[in-house]
Homo-oligomer: A and B are copies of this chain.
Amino acid sequence: MNNYRGCQGLNKNPSESMHEHYEIKIDSPDEPNRARIIAFSVWGILRGMESFGHLIYYKADQTNSNVGVYLVNSTQVMDFPRFTHRGVMLDSSRHFLSKSVIIANLDLMEMNKMNVFHWHLTDDQSFPYESKSFPQLSKKGSYNPNTHVYHQQDIKEILEAARIRGIRVVPEFDTPGHTRSWENGHPGLLTKCFDGVLGPVNPILNSTYAFMKKFFHEVMTVFPDELLHLGGDEVNTNCWKNNTEIVAFMKENNITDAKLLEAYYLAKIFNIVESYKPSKKSYAVWQEAYQNGQGQLSKNAIVHVWKGEDWQNVTQKATGDGMKVLLSAPWYLNYISYGIDWHNYYKIDPQNFGGNDKQRRLVFGGEACMWGEFVNSINLIPRLWPRASAVAERLWSSADVTDVNKAAPRLQEHECRMLKRGYRVEPSNGPGYCDIDWN
């Protein structure tokens, strides 16, 4: 193994700008009897090593089928990803996911050349992140503070496991909605709705922003990646609209619509992120943050499109406004159905939404999402793989690689490969078998 211009990245974190291009030359005309993987960076070498593994095949002896050899053919490969951001989103709030399962999933992501682990850490149901600044958040907000928490040491291990696989970790702390569990350890954070139940984060209190500044600055210190996911989806703006103090605040501040209060809140959170030193951070939000913003949302925010029904329209509109877009809408893999479903994921083209070239370039990647309502450490891996492999190929391969019938045997082979390496991936193509297909 070798590289082209010295090995960039060995001690660095993978980033949005990392080079994943690689070449494989095995017994090429200009270098007979030699095998090389060539890349601009260690990340390209990693991708090339994975592909090299796929080139190896077994050949049984013609006279004695009990023996055989592993072979690689003479070949030349030049390969690079179509999209920069190729992710898997896991939800560790609806159900807790064990560290070992998260790391097994990083293995599988690497085998599928995916490079972003979007970690939806907290939600209404539980707060499993151990905050150094606010330890009560997980002590009171997790399912069990002894067993269902990611301690700082666990996070370090996961970050390092991801780094050496060339995978970025983008944490999501979803606010102002989806925050019910935060209130347990930080009382007074949420809005009391008209009917007495708790709603979104209270956006009119200075204490909210003092807390958020300290919290997010910690998060940015813990998670080195430049990208932070700030959530912003499914905010119950009715709760705000029917709270007299909030209505008064809106009047005072000339905020004409409770939906615009989300943009107001997020602008303050964006300022908090932008004020972080030493490193520059970028941020993504779910599509409602953009839609509720009615043009007022910062152009720096990345719009994460997740609603299945109209992803093309929303993507066209957001990119038309000059926003960068991440696509997940067609890739909600938590939705299961009987039979072969990966065809649907494979057939999506993230740039097929009727925009112009400039707009299409603003779509810089996508993510397969696995929400956790019905998924825990037991069924995460078999439910996600190899279905997510279809998304991985779509995000890596050239736009003209679209033939499902040609992809099917590749996927089948890859399914057996993942199984053989010890991962509990499930059958995706109907009846059949792998050489090794049991536990």
A407 within 8 A of B: no
Size class of A's contact patch? 35 or more
Contacts of A37 in B (CB 8 A): none
Interface residues of A in 87-102 (CB under 8 A from B): 93-98, 100-101
Known: A147-B435, A438-B98, A439-B378. A337 touches B338 (CB 8 A): yes
The reply to whether A419 and B336 contact each other, CB–CB distance below 8 Å, is no
The verdict on A377 contacting chain B, using a C-beta distance below 8 Å, is: yes
**Is A437's CB under 8 angstroms from B337's CB?**
no
User: Complex formed: what's the CA distance from A336 to B372 in Å?
Assistant: 17
Q: Are A435 and B382 in contact (CB under 8 A)?
A: no
Among residues of B, the one whose C-beta sits closest to the C-beta of A419 is: B378
Kindly state whether residue A432 has any CB partner on chain B within 8 Å: yes
Residues of B within 8 A of A431 (CB): 93-95, 125, 372-373
In the complex, A424 has a CB within 8 A of chain B: yes
Residue contact B373 to A430, C-beta cutoff 8 Å: yes
A143 at the interface (CB under 8 A from B): yes
User: Is A425 interfacial (CB-CB < 8 Å)?
Assistant: yes
| Residues in chain B near residue A382, CB distance under 8 A | 378-379, 382
**Interface readout for A66-102 with B: 1 if CB under 8 Å, 0 if not?**
0000000000000000000000000001111110110
Q: What's the Cα separation between A101 and B339 when bound, in Å?
A: 22
Binding site for B on A (CB under 8 A): 93-98, 100-101, 125-126, 143-144, 147-148, 334-339, 372-379, 382, 419, 424-428, 430-433, 435-439
> What are 20 A-to-B residue pairs whose CB atoms are below 8 Å?
A94-B430, A95-B431, A96-B438, A101-B438, A125-B431, A143-B432, A144-B433, A147-B436, A339-B373, A373-B431, A376-B433, A377-B437, A378-B424, A378-B425, A378-B426, A378-B427, A378-B438, A379-B379, A379-B382, A379-B424
